[in-house]
């Protein structure tokens, strides 16, 4: 599949995050959307443009994680003050709920 030209569907997951029931529309690509819609309205977060070619669209957004990891390593931190281990686990759980709700199944799910 050519992810560069694939528009893809939007997803409408429902779940809880920080004890607050939310319904939001996450636009493609789910792993790095530039547009999210919810009860608060439409939120747009464009990624900076660059000249690098990536395997998946919007992968350039990972640069923010890389910069933060480098900063934490240089400062000898075991955890980012901006995103705790507990919050990372919560986010992974919410993403797993979204994946289940939209019907995404990976081969390793049956192992």
- Give the whole-angstrom CA distance, residue 46 versus residue 5: 18
- Give the whole-angstrom CA distance, residue 77 versus residue 29: 31
Task: Quickly tell me which residue has 């199944």 as its tokens.
Answer: 105
Helix %, strand %, coil % of the chain (to 5): 35, 20, 45
Low-confidence stretches of the chain (pLDDT < 70) are 1-24, 26-27, 30-31
Average pLDDT, the chain: 76
- Give the whole-angstrom CA distance, residue 41 versus residue 15: 18
Q: For the domain 14-103, what is the CATH code?
A: 3.30.360.10
**Model-level pTM?**
0.54
């Amino acid at each position: 599949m050519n992810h560069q030209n694939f528009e893809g569907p939007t997803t409408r997951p429902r779940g809880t995050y920080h004890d607050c029931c939310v319904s939001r529309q996450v636009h493609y690509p789910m792993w790095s959307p530039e547009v999210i819609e919810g009860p608060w309205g439409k939120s747009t977060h464009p990624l900076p443009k660059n000249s690098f070619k990536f395997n998946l669209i919007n992968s350039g957004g990972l640069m923010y994680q890389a910069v933060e990891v480098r900063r934490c390593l240089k400062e000898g931190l075991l955890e980012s003050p901006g995103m705790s281990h507990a919050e990372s686990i919560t986010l992974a759980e919410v993403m797993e709920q979204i994946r289940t709700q939209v019907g995404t199944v990976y081969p390793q799910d049956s192992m």
